[in-house]
Structure 1
C-alpha cells in the first residue's frame, strides 16, 4: 500500500508540471506571435521580442522573491500550496483576459498578469516538489516530471497548431485542472519550525550546514545554475524565432502547423527518453548524464545550420534532426532538474534557491530574444545566413551548458590568493616545526596524483601539522589536496585546548572557514562521547540560544561549573569553557535532544563520508589517519570504517609511517617515512610495519623486559644492539643507529635525556629507574616507556605478519618486507 501511495504522490505532484508546460510550450512561440499578427502586424517581430523580454524579466524576478517569502512563511506554518494556489489563480485570470482582449493595449497587461501569477506559483510548486519526493527516487520522479513537461509541450503545441491564438482558453482550463489536482492530492508537512531547525528529512542538509562554510556548499549549485543558463539560452534562441523561420525563410503557408510538426516529433520522443534516463540517473553519476544529454541537442542544432536551403524543406531531414534533438532534450529535462535538487545548498531555503535556479531558465530568455533579434536584423538582407548563425549559436550555448554540468562535483582550481595562502601557511608550519622539533623524512613524498589516498598512523597533533604541508609543498599546482580533520576544528573554542594561555582571546573564535580553505575536511571522530561544548555548539546551531538547563542535565552543568540560569552561549565564557571541554556522553543531554543526537549521529557521519568520497571522485588527493584518534598505547588502533569506502575509490595509494622519540634528543624527534602501498596486503598491517624504529624503542623494551635495577651505558648499548641485529627483513631502523659509533652516540644521548626528564636517575657511573613515566610532549600518554615499547613490538609483529602473508601468497618468494626498503 505504501508503494502505491508513493507512486500516486509522484504522479500527482507532476500534474501541475504538465499543465504549466501545456501553457509555456506555445504561449510565446505560437499563441502570442499569432495574436500579434492580428493586433500589430506591421511591427510583429519587434513587438514579440519586446514582450518576450519583458515577460522573461518578470519570470526571472518573481520566483526568487516569492521563494524568499515562501521560506519565511513556511517557518510560520504556511505551506507551499498557498503560493501555488494564489499564483495559479492569477495565471488563469491572465489567460482568460488575453482570450477576450480586443487590442494590444489590453492584451499586454493580461499577458504580464499571467506571467506574474506563474512566477508566484512556480516558487511554491518547485519547493513542494523537492520536499515531496524522497532523494532515493529523485531521478525516477524527475523522469516522470520530464515526461509530463514534454507531453505538456506536445499537447500545447498540438492544440496551438490547430487552434492558433484561441488555444489560450484551453491553456487556462488545463492549468486550472492541474493546479487543483496537485494542490488537493499532494500533502505537505506544514509544521512550524524555528529558524535553523531541521527535521529528520533534512538531516543531511543540516550536516552540511554544520560542516562546511557557505561557499563550499553552494559551489556545485552555482555550476548547475550556469549549466541551466547556457542550455536555456540556446533553447530560447531556437524557440523564439523558429515560427518566423518557417514563415520568412521557408515560406510555409501554415507556419503554426509546421512549427507544431517539428516540435511534436522532438518532444514526443523526448518523453520516453526522459522516463528511461531518469531511472538510470538514480544508479549512476547524474552530472555525466546531464553533460551527455547536451551533445545530441547541440549536434542537431549545428547540423541543421549546415544543411542546404533545399534540404531544409525536406520533411525527412527535419524529422531526423528533430528526433535527435528530442533524445537529448528528454534526457536533460529529467536529469538536469534532479541534479539541481541534489545540489541545493540549504534545505531551509529551498524555495528561494530554486527561485534563483529558475532565474537561470528565465534570465537567458531576456537575453536570447534580444541577441537573436539583433543577429537577424544584421542579416535582414540575407535571412537564411542569419538563421544559420542563430542555429550555430544555439548549439554552442547548449554545449557550453553540458561542459558546465561536467564540473559539478569536481574541485575548482584554487584561486591564486588561496593557493598563496596555503603555501605561506605550509612554509610557516614547516619552519616552526623545524625550529621546535627534529624532523627527519625518508622515502619519496607522493606527488599528489589524481584521486590519491594517503594514510598514516596517528600519534601526535604534529601529524596533521607537518604531513599536509609536506604534501602541499611537494607539488602545489597539481590536483587539490584535502586532509581529514576532527570536526572539533570547526567549532569555536577548540584552540583553548591547544593554547590555554590565550583563553580570553580565542574562547569564541571559530577558524573552521580558514581550515576548510586550507584543505581540511571535517569528520566526526568522537561518535560515542565528545566535549560537552561540542554538543552545545550543535544545539545552538540547530535550535538557537536555549537555556542550558533545558539541554543538559543538572549534573553535567554542575560538573563544568555553569552558573544558574546560563544559556548555551554562556558556556563559552572563560570561566566555564575549559571545564566544558571535558568529555561528555549522550546521557548528559536531556530529552528530546538526547534522542535527536542519537538519531542524527549515523546521518552525520554518512554525509561527511559522502563528502570525502565526492572529493576523491573529483580527482582530489586525500590524506587521512584512519585510526581517527591519537594512540595512547603505542599500538595502532583499529581503523575506522571510512577507509574501505575511500580506498575503493582511490586511483593511487601511499603509506606514511610516523615514529616519535622524546628521548633521542632534547627536541622532540619526528621520523616520517613514505612507503609504497601493496594492494595484495592488508593496509592495517603494512602501516604498522613501515614505522621507523628509533633508539628509544628497543631501549624501552630492554628497560621494561629485563627491568634492571642498576645498569651501565655499555649494558644498555649492548641490549639495543642485540635487538637491532634481530630485526626481521623489511624493518627500518633510523640512520643514526647505523654503525657502532652511531649506535653508541644515540644510546648515550637517549640516556642523558631520560635522566633530564626524570625517567632515569644517575647512580655513580650507572643508571637506575626514575620516578617519571610520563612525557609533557605527549599529554594523552599515561606511560611513555610502555608506549615506545609497544610501538617497537607492534612493528615487529606486523613485519612477521607480512612475511607469513607473502609466503602463503607466493611460496618460495623473497622474504616479505624487502619492498619497504625502497
Structure 2
C-alpha cells in the first residue's frame, strides 16, 4: 500500500522564490557590501580580522535560532507566519546597516553596523527553519532532486543578479550604498511570491508522516542524518574559508585596481556556471543517486580552489571561477534533496531542518580564525595567507567528498523505491 500526498505539490519555482531573494541578499551583503564597509570602518590593517569577527557574531544567531524556531513551528503546524515576521525584521536590519554606512564612521559606525547585522541574522534565520521544512513536507521523495535543482538554480540566479547589480552600480559610478535598498527589494518581492503561493496547512508527503519525531538527544543516532550533517558542514567549511575574502584576493593577489568590480565579475562567472549545473545535477540525482553528483561536485571545487592560487592573471582566474561554479551548482542542487531524504520524521521537519541548517551556518565561525590566519600569513610573506586559506578550503571539500560515502545506502534505496 502506498501513500499519496493530499494535494499536488506547489510549483518548484513558487516554493523556491524565497531562496532567490535570500541568495541575492546574502551575496550582496557578505561578498560585496560587508568587505567594503568594514574596510572603510576599520582600515586595511585589520580588515580580515574584523570581517571574520562580524561573520562569527552573526553565526551565533544562525546557530541558535533555527532549531528553536523550527521546533516551535512543528508544534504550531504553521510555516508562513514565521516567514513573514522574519523577513520584516531582516528588512529593518538592512535599514540600520545602511544608515550606519551613510551617517557614521570609525568604530562608532562599525558597532551600529554590527547591530543592524544582528537584526538581519535574527530575521533571516527566524524565517529559515520553518521555510526549510517545506521541501520535505510538501514534495514526494521521487521529486526532491528536481525541486532541489530548481532551488539551486533560483539561488544561483539570485546571486547572479546581486553580483550584476553591484557591477552596474560601479559602472554607473553610483554609490554602493544604493545596494542596500536594492537588496531589501530583492528579498521582499520573492518572499511575497512564496507567502502567497504556498499552502500553510498541507500535510506532509510520503511515508515519514506516520513516524514519531526523534528526540533531540537521539537525532544524531539516526545515521543518515548524522553523516549528511557532517558532510554538509565540511562543504560549508570550505566555502567560508574563502568566500569572505574573495574581494581582498582580487586586489592583493590578482592586482585589480577596482577589486569590488572585479570581484563582482568573478562571482558572476561562478554563478552563471552554477545555474548551468544546478538543474542538471538535481534531475540527474533523481536517477543515479545523490552521492555520485556530490563526488564530482566536491572534487571540482577543491581543484578549482587550488588552481586559483597559481593563476598569474585575472583573465585566467575567470575560467577557474566558472569551473568552481559548475561544482558549486551541482552540489547545491543535491544538497537540499539529500538533507530532506535524511530526515527521520515528518512530525519534526522544521526542527530537524533547523538543526541540519546549523551544519551550514556553524562553519561561518571558520571566518574568524581564517581571517586571523589570512592577516598572519600575509604579514610574513607576500600572499602566504591566501595560500593557507585556499588550501584549507580544498582540504575541507575533499574530506566532504570522502565522508559522504558513509551516508547509508538505505536512504538511496528508499528514494528509488518511492520513484518506482
Length-normalised TM-score, structure 2: 0.87
8 A Cα contact 1:10 1:133, kept in partner? no
Rounded Cα–Cα distance in structure 2 between residues aligned with 1:208 and 1:85: 28
Query: Is 1:303 matched up with 2:307?
Result: yes
The one-character-per-residue Cα deviations of 1:227-254 (angstroms, maximum 9, x if unpaired) are: 1111111111111111111223333111
The one-character-per-residue Cα deviations of 1:570-596 (angstroms, maximum 9, x if unpaired) are: xxxxxxxxxxxxxxxxxxxxxxxxxxx
| Aligned position for 2:401 | 402
1:330 to partner: Cα distance? 0.7
1:97 to partner: Cα distance? 2.1
**Equivalent residue in structure 2 for 1:278, among 250, 268, 282:** 282
Query: Is 1:267 matched up with 2:279?
Result: no
Query: Is 1:117 matched up with 2:123?
Result: yes
The one-character-per-residue Cα deviations of 1:23-43 (angstroms, maximum 9, x if unpaired) are: 111312210121223333254
Shift in CA distance, 6/167, structure 1 to aligned 2, threshold 3 Å: farther
1:161 to partner: Cα distance? 3.4
| Aligned position for 1:136 | 142
Q: How does 1:436-455 map to 2 (within 5 A)?
A: none
8 A Cα contact 2:341 2:411, kept in partner? no
1:399 to partner: Cα distance? 1.1
Query: Is 1:150 matched up with 2:156?
Result: yes
Q: Between Structure 1 and Structure 2, which shows a larger proportion of strand residues?
A: 1
| Aligned position for 1:40 | 42
8 A Cα contact 1:15 1:182, kept in partner? yes
**Equivalent residue in structure 2 for 1:51, among 54, 58, 61:** 54
Structure 1 SS opposite 2:136 = helix
8 A Cα contact 1:205 1:346, kept in partner? yes
The one-character-per-residue Cα deviations of 1:99-133 (angstroms, maximum 9, x if unpaired) are: 22222232221111011000001112111233222
Q: How does 1:675-694 map to 2 (within 5 A)?
A: none
CA RMSD of aligned residues (A): 2.5
Shift in CA distance, 208/66, structure 1 to aligned 2, threshold 3 Å: closer
**Equivalent residue in structure 2 for 1:249, among 242, 253, 259:** 253
| Aligned position for 2:63 | 60
Q: How does 1:593-672 map to 2 (within 5 A)?
A: none
Q: How does 1:519-538 map to 2 (within 5 A)?
A: none
Q: How does 1:342-361 map to 2 (within 5 A)?
A: 342-361=341-360
Rounded Cα–Cα distance in structure 1 between residues aligned with 2:317 and 2:10: 37
Shift in CA distance, 165/189, structure 1 to aligned 2, threshold 3 Å: same
Between stretches 339-348 and 25-34, larger displacement belongs to: 25-34
Rounded Cα–Cα distance in structure 1 between residues aligned with 2:130 and 2:166: 27
8 A Cα contact 2:233 2:363, kept in partner? yes
8 A Cα contact 2:67 2:353, kept in partner? yes
Structure 1 SS opposite 2:199 = coil
Rounded Cα–Cα distance in structure 1 between residues aligned with 2:394 and 2:75: 40
Rounded Cα–Cα distance in structure 2 between residues aligned with 1:371 and 1:318: 22
Q: Between Structure 1 and Structure 2, which shows a larger proportion of helix residues?
A: 2
Rounded Cα–Cα distance in structure 2 between residues aligned with 1:379 and 1:84: 42
Structure 2 SS opposite 1:57 = helix
Shift in CA distance, 181/26, structure 1 to aligned 2, threshold 3 Å: same
Counting matched residue pairs gives 394
Shift in CA distance, 374/344, structure 1 to aligned 2, threshold 3 Å: same
1:398 to partner: Cα distance? 0.8
The one-character-per-residue Cα deviations of 1:3-48 (angstroms, maximum 9, x if unpaired) are: xx96862111111000000011131221012122333325433222
| Aligned position for 1:93 | 92
Rounded Cα–Cα distance in structure 2 between residues aligned with 1:147 and 1:200: 24
Query: Is 1:183 matched up with 2:201?
Result: no
| Aligned position for 1:321 | 320
Rounded Cα–Cα distance in structure 1 between residues aligned with 2:150 and 2:15: 10
Rounded Cα–Cα distance in structure 1 between residues aligned with 2:98 and 2:367: 27
The one-character-per-residue Cα deviations of 1:296-321 (angstroms, maximum 9, x if unpaired) are: 1111112222x1xxx43240x21221
8 A Cα contact 2:62 2:125, kept in partner? yes
Rounded Cα–Cα distance in structure 2 between residues aligned with 1:138 and 1:200: 13
1:292 to partner: Cα distance? 2.1
| Aligned position for 1:291 | 295
8 A Cα contact 1:81 1:183, kept in partner? yes
Unaligned runs of 5+ in 1: 191-198, 411-609, 618-644, 646-822
Rounded Cα–Cα distance in structure 2 between residues aligned with 1:161 and 1:377: 31
Shift in CA distance, 105/349, structure 1 to aligned 2, threshold 3 Å: same
The one-character-per-residue Cα deviations of 1:48-67 (angstroms, maximum 9, x if unpaired) are: 22111101221122111111
Length-normalised TM-score, structure 1: 0.46
1:367 to partner: Cα distance? 2.0
Structure 2 SS opposite 1:383 = coil
Shift in CA distance, 613/282, structure 1 to aligned 2, threshold 3 Å: closer
| Aligned position for 2:21 | 19
Rounded Cα–Cα distance in structure 2 between residues aligned with 1:56 and 1:612: 32
Rounded Cα–Cα distance in structure 2 between residues aligned with 1:73 and 1:207: 18
Structure 1 SS opposite 2:260 = helix
Rounded Cα–Cα distance in structure 2 between residues aligned with 1:115 and 1:237: 20
The one-character-per-residue Cα deviations of 1:445-481 (angstroms, maximum 9, x if unpaired) are: xxxxxxxxxxxxxxxxxxxxxxxxxxxxxxxxxxxxx
Rounded Cα–Cα distance in structure 2 between residues aligned with 1:365 and 1:335: 21
1:202 to partner: Cα distance? 4.7
| Aligned position for 1:602 | none
Shift in CA distance, 170/184, structure 1 to aligned 2, threshold 3 Å: same
- Of structures 1 and 2, the larger Rg is shown by 1
Rounded Cα–Cα distance in structure 2 between residues aligned with 1:124 and 1:220: 21
Rounded Cα–Cα distance in structure 1 between residues aligned with 2:204 and 2:351: 21
Unaligned runs of 5+ in 2: 1-6, 104-108, 170-175
Taking CA–CA contacts closer than 8 Å with sequence separation of 6 or more, which of the two structures ends up with the larger relative contact order? Answer: 2
